[in-house]
Structure 1
C-alpha cells in the first residue's frame, strides 16, 4: 500500500466501531476501496524519454507486434502485417540475429499481434493473432498457440488453434494480450475501442464484451503487466497506461498518457520483465524500423 493510503488504526475506537454495524460496514467499504486503489492504481506517473536500442532487419519491414520473453533473456518475438505466410520471428533485444519460424498449417489473412502467456503445465506459449479486418468482413478471427522453446526449428506445429467470433459482428483489431490468469484479451482498433475476452483456450467460441476504452487514438497494440493490474495501450501517437482490475474493470480510475517518441507506423508494444519499462516497434516505411525502450522514472 502506498504511503498516502496507509490507515492509522489507532485513530479509530475499534470497540465502538464493532458495536455499531452501520459504521463497521462503512469502514469496511472504505478499506476495501483503499486496498483496491493501492492494488490497481500504481500506474507510473513519470516516464523517461524513449531511447533507441535497436533496429529491426529487412525481414520485418511490416512489423505489427512484439513480445518479450520471460523465459529466455535478451529475446524478442515479432510478427509481420498482412501478406506474411504464417511466420513469426525471433531476435535479440537489439533486433539482430533474426530467425524466421513458420507455423505448420497456418495461413493467416491479416496477422497483427503476438503475446506471451501460460498454456498449462507450467509452459509458456506464444499467442499469435490473425485478428486484422480492415474492411470488417471476416466471420471469424483466429489465434494460434505455439509453445515457447529455447531452440526453435525452422517450422513448428501449433499446440492449439482458436476460432473467435464477435457477438455483434466483425471488428478490426491489432491488439492482443494474455493476462497472467490465462485470459486472452483483444482490443478493437476503434475510437473509443472495445475490449473483448476469450473465456478459455477452446477451439471455437464467441468473445465476451468487457468494456469500452478510450486511449485517445486508435489502438495498434497492447500489453498487460506481469501482476495483471495494468494495461498498456499503444496508438499511432502515444501510449497510455491504465490501472485496472480485470475482474471488475469499470470504471477506469487510473490513466496516464505517455508521450513517446513518434515513429512512422508504431504497431508493437510489450512490457519488459517487472513491467516498469516497455519496448515499442514500428513498421519500416521510409526510415529504419527502430526498437525503442521507455522506462518509468518514478510514481
Structure 2
C-alpha cells in the first residue's frame, strides 16, 4: 500500500522528446465504464477474458482480484490470504491462471521479488525470483505464448531493462532471472500522470494479445504497441512501436488486451474510467521493421531499443538538457510492507 513518495536525486538529465502525433492521427479512446467501487482505489493491473474484466490493486495485505462486469461493477472477488510485498501488474494465461507480479521495489532493497499464480478458485502458488545485477523497481509483467514471464523495469531515464527466468520456475524458489535486453522510452507531451513529463518514460504496465503477436507497454501517459509475429517477446520489443496516447489519466498503471484485440487502459483513483482502443492490434503489422535496422534505432540486437514511433513521420530529435543542481524528482511511490 502507498505510504509516501519515493525521491531520487538527479544532477543532469537528458530527455529525448518523441515527435508529436499529427492532428487526427491518434486512435480513438472510448469510455467502457467507471470504476466506482471504493475497494478498487489503486488499480494497477488489468486482464480480460472478453466477458469479464479482472482488476487488481497494488500493495495490499492479501491477494485480491476483482472480477468486473462490462459495467465495472464487482461480480466476484478471487482472494487468497498470501501477504504480498508490492504487487504491481497482472497477466492472464491461456488456462485462466492469473499471474500477479509482486516486484515493486521503490527503495531498491528487496533480496527477492515474486510471482503469484492464482487460479480462478483462489489457489495461489508462490515463485520467488532473484536478479543477476542488484535490485530493480518493476511494475510491468508480460507472459509469452509458452507461459514464460518477463519483467520490465521502471527507470527514470527511460532505459527499461528486460528480465526472464533462466530456467523453469520452482516454488517457492528462488529462481534466478537473466537479463535479456533493454529498450528506450522517449519523453512525450501527452498530459496526465502524477509526476509531470518524467512520467511519460516510466514503464507502469504491460500486456500481450491473446495470440501473443502484439505486445503493449505503457507509461503514465502513453501505450506502445510492438509487433511480435512469432511470439518472441525479446525480438518484439526490439521493433519500432506504435504510440497510442492515453491522455489525462490520473495515475495510469493498468493495461490489458481483450481477446478481440481491443486495448484496455485504467488509472488509480475511485471514479476513474476504464477506456478502450478498439482494434488496437490491427494498428501493428507483422512487417514492422526492427529498430536496429533503422536510423536512430538500437545498435545492438542483443539489447533491444525502441527507435522512432512507427506511425509517426521521422522528425529530428529534440534533445533537452535539464540541469537539476542537486534537485529531487518524485518518480514513484513507496509502499510499506504489511
Report the TM range for the smaller structure's normalisation.
Answer: 0.7 to 0.9
**CA deviation after TM superposition for structure 1 residue 135, in Å:** 0.6
Secondary structure at the counterpart of residue 264 of structure 1 = coil
Aligned twin of 1:92: 69
Which of 46-55 and 244-253 deviates more? 244-253
Secondary structure at the counterpart of residue 249 of structure 1 = helix
State whether residues 27 and 244 of structure 2, in contact with CA within 8 Å, keep that contact through their aligned partners in structure 1: no
Q: Matches of residues 187-226 of structure 1 in structure 2 within 5 Å?
A: 187-190=152-155, 191-198=158-165, 199-203=167-171, 204=173, 205-216=175-186, 217-226=201-210
State whether residues 238 and 262 of structure 1, in contact with CA within 8 Å, keep that contact through their aligned partners in structure 2: no
Change in CA separation of 1:47 and 1:197 when aligned onto 2, cut-off 3 Å:
farther
Aligned twin of 2:278: 295
Aligned twin of 2:252: 266
Task: Check if 1:134 corresponds to 2:134.
Answer: no
Deviations 1:159-205, CA, capped at 9 Å, x for gaps: x2100111111110111121111111111111210111124332221
State whether residues 215 and 226 of structure 2, in contact with CA within 8 Å, keep that contact through their aligned partners in structure 1: yes
Q: Matches of residues 23-42 of structure 1 in structure 2 within 5 Å?
A: none
The Cα RMSD (Å) is 2.1
Specify which structure has the higher proportion of helix. Answer: 1
2:56 to 58, 63, 79: 79
Aligned equivalents of 1:93, 1:265: Cα separation in 2: 22
Aligned equivalents of 2:208, 2:237: Cα separation in 1: 18
State whether residues 49 and 261 of structure 1, in contact with CA within 8 Å, keep that contact through their aligned partners in structure 2: no
Higher relative contact order by CA 8 Å / sep ≥ 6: 1 or 2? 2
**CA deviation after TM superposition for structure 1 residue 278, in Å:** 0.6
Change in CA separation of 1:250 and 1:98 when aligned onto 2, cut-off 3 Å:
closer
Deviations 1:244-275, CA, capped at 9 Å, x for gaps: 45276288233111112320001100011132
Aligned equivalents of 1:238, 1:227: Cα separation in 2: 23
- In structure 2, runs of 5+ residues without a counterpart are 1-24, 187-200, 284-338
Aligned equivalents of 2:162, 2:67: Cα separation in 1: 28
Q: Matches of residues 153-164 of structure 1 in structure 2 within 5 Å?
A: 156-158=122-124, 160-164=125-129
Secondary structure at the counterpart of residue 39 of structure 2 = helix
1:185 to 123, 145, 150: 150
2:90 to 114, 125, 133: 114
Secondary structure at the counterpart of residue 60 of structure 1 = coil
- What count of residue pairs does the alignment treat as equivalent? 236
State whether residues 89 and 141 of structure 2, in contact with CA within 8 Å, keep that contact through their aligned partners in structure 1: yes
- In structure 1, runs of 5+ residues without a counterpart are 1-45
Change in CA separation of 1:50 and 1:211 when aligned onto 2, cut-off 3 Å:
same
Aligned twin of 2:5: none
1:60 to 34, 40, 43: 40
Aligned equivalents of 2:237, 2:78: Cα separation in 1: 41
State whether residues 183 and 237 of structure 2, in contact with CA within 8 Å, keep that contact through their aligned partners in structure 1: no
Aligned equivalents of 1:140, 1:270: Cα separation in 2: 26
